[in-house]
Structure 1
Amino acid sequence: MTRCRCNHRRGATLIDVAAGSMLLAVVLIPSVKMLQQNESLHRRSLLRETMLHEAEQLLEQSKIRLTDPSVFDSTFRRSRPVVQNLSLTATDGPSLRATLTTAADATLPAGMEVITIDALVWRDVNNNRRCDIDEPAESLRTQRAAP
């Protein structure tokens, strides 16, 4: 009795390669797109976090300035809001613009001295020094009573 020696290769067939390619295309390409979307969301989130941090810093600095009774009184007695336009450079981040507005709160009854402080921080993409609707921006507001 003679044995037949058949040479069987232990490699991948063309069908195996095609199936593997299709599986990679189905899984890998959407994964890469998802990673790109996640990176974009992460960058936007970091920018917003930076803008909120800068706005908070502006509010805190203003509140500290307003602890001086003479500064508070002169700000409260103004007939118009005080508007400051600022250029900011965030640490390891983009250059930002900010508008800080302080004004007496006219909605309260007479005798109550409260100042409203608004901070608007935005990334001025087109460098026109105005916050446009398509530019990322964050704003915070707080109030300070007379010291």
Structure 2
Amino acid sequence: MKYQSLNEIFENLDEDVTDPLQLAKDFDCKVVESELPNHIQGFTEPTSQYIFINRNMNEMFKKFVIAHELIHALLDSGSSYLLENERVSTLKTEARANKGALFLLLRNYYHILNIDGFNICNFMSFYHIPEKYFYFFNECLIDLKTINKK
């Protein structure tokens, strides 16, 4: 565990680096693509700073998995698995990793597309993020807008 909070991670980001794979390298995490069972999208071994991702996923969705696992690598002390199932996990560590991944991908999305407007459906389609994350991400975005208005 290198950091205490998402905010602490975000404060240490190089504003010119938005790609999750490069961010992992910048934080001294090694990303390894492996042949994993279909229900395991990725997992982290924080003590060694290794992130393992399932090589059989869409290339854009891999960015989400890397971002999600990077948050675990930087904040959590134990191993963590991102499993494919029908619902979004409500465990605190998983919710925090999803929120962190959303933030990292939003930075990447705006950097790649250089857009003015934002559409959550287009964003999720771009990264091939399953629909089950829609309401979770939408709530995070509402929270983000509320914080920015203060």
Global fold match (TM > 0.5): no
TM-score (norm 2): 0.24
Q: Normalising to structure 1: TM-score of the pair?
A: 0.25
Is the strand fraction higher in 1 or 2? 1
